[in-house]
Amino acid sequence: MLLNIQNLHVTYYSPGQKPVEAVRGVSFSVGAGESLGIVGESGCGKSSLAKTIIGLQPPSAGSLRFEGQELGSMKPAAFRHYRRVVQMIFQDAVGSINPRMTVRQTLEEVLHVHQMVPAGRVAGRVRELLDRVGLPETVLDAYPREISGGQCQRISFARCLALEPRLIIADEPVSALDVSVQARILNLVRTLQKELDLAIILISHDLAVVRNICDRVAVMYAGQFVESGPSANVLDAPQHAYTRELLAAVPDVGRALKERGRTHRFAPTCTGE
């Protein structure tokens, strides 16, 4: 098992304030190449869970194992490996890229800092990464502000892939993008996942997004998983009242997906994102 989480708790303590229990006893696992969707309304603890998995927020209790090793007791070398192979994609793609660096510099830097390829291979690897995420070489000398939100999200993916990750956590990766661009980025996520045998945890408040990509889905409510299982089962025959409520808020998930799919078929490239 790639990632195994047992009874994880995340609590925020601030002086003079009541502790906030953002994650309250979550358990799940993700195998190599698997995709898990986590859905739930704003404030239910999705990002807190994500930040804990990538090691930005310490858990207050519970166990988090990667390839069988407990995160909290990893030696520095194992932790460095973990921080490289478990990567996160954020909603705010533009804000997560250094505005003073061109696309080329951004990708070269990550390859260089992590010594992913010998110096003589850097330029070639940058071109491969761009190709992987469906961007033309013409963006290489652009700054983030000169390209679109969708293209910036593709650059975030390229920077992630540069590190040859095993698990990518995408926290609302398309929420900030136009609906017409969302489908193309999600399609990219699905293609990368299949071609590179990546494990993906896709976090979203949007059931249609998750259904389209994920083998399994977990429904999160007030810091806990209230329901989980294969996406089709959970979304077609929800057992929990909260899941039914979430589904009711989306009048026709099937239609929404078809419409997004259509956009994709007629505009397979990222021009104009």
Ligand X SMILES: Nc1ncnc2c1ncn2[C@@H]1O[C@H](COP(=O)(O)OP(=O)(O)O)[C@@H](O)[C@H]1O
| Chain contacts with ligand X (rule: CB under 6 A) | 12, 20, 22, 40, 42-48
- Please choose, from the candidates 213, 152, 156, 141, the residue with its C-alpha nearest in 3D space to the C-alpha of residue 177: 152
Instruction: Residue 48: name its binding partner from Mg ion, ligand X, none (Cβ under 5 to 8 Å by kind).
Output: ligand X
Q: Name the minimum Å distance from CB 56 to ligand X.
A: 10
Q: Name the minimum Å distance from CB 17 to ligand X.
A: 8
Stretch binding Mg ion (CB under 5 A), from 45-53, 159-167, 237-245, 250-258? 45-53
Distance CA 123, CA 117 (A): 10
Complex with ligand X: residue 42 or 73, whichever CB lies closer: 42
Integer angstrom CA distances of residue 111 from 39, 155, 158, 186, 250: 33, 14, 11, 25, 41
Residue 52 touching Mg ion (CB under 5 A): no
Instruction: Residue 243: name its binding partner from ligand X, Mg ion, none (Cβ under 5 to 8 Å by kind).
Output: none
Complex with ligand X: residue 143 or 242, whichever CB lies closer: 242
Residue 47 touching Mg ion (CB under 5 A): yes
* Three-point CA angle 88, 252, 229, nearest 5°: 50
Instruction: Residue 45: name its binding partner from Mg ion, ligand X, none (Cβ under 5 to 8 Å by kind).
Output: ligand X
Q: Positive or negative, the Cα torsion across 177, 200, 56, 52?
A: positive
Distance CA 136, CA 142 (A): 11
Element (H, E) at 27: strand 20-30
HSE (CB half, 13 Å, CA atoms) of 215?
A: 13
Complex with ligand X: residue 14 or 115, whichever CB lies closer: 14
Instruction: Residue 162: name its binding partner from ligand X, Mg ion, none (Cβ under 5 to 8 Å by kind).
Output: none
Q: Name the minimum Å distance from CB 106 to ligand X.
A: 26
Answer whether 11's CB lies under 8 Å from 57's CB. Answer: no
Residues in touch with Mg ion (CB under 5 A) = 46-47
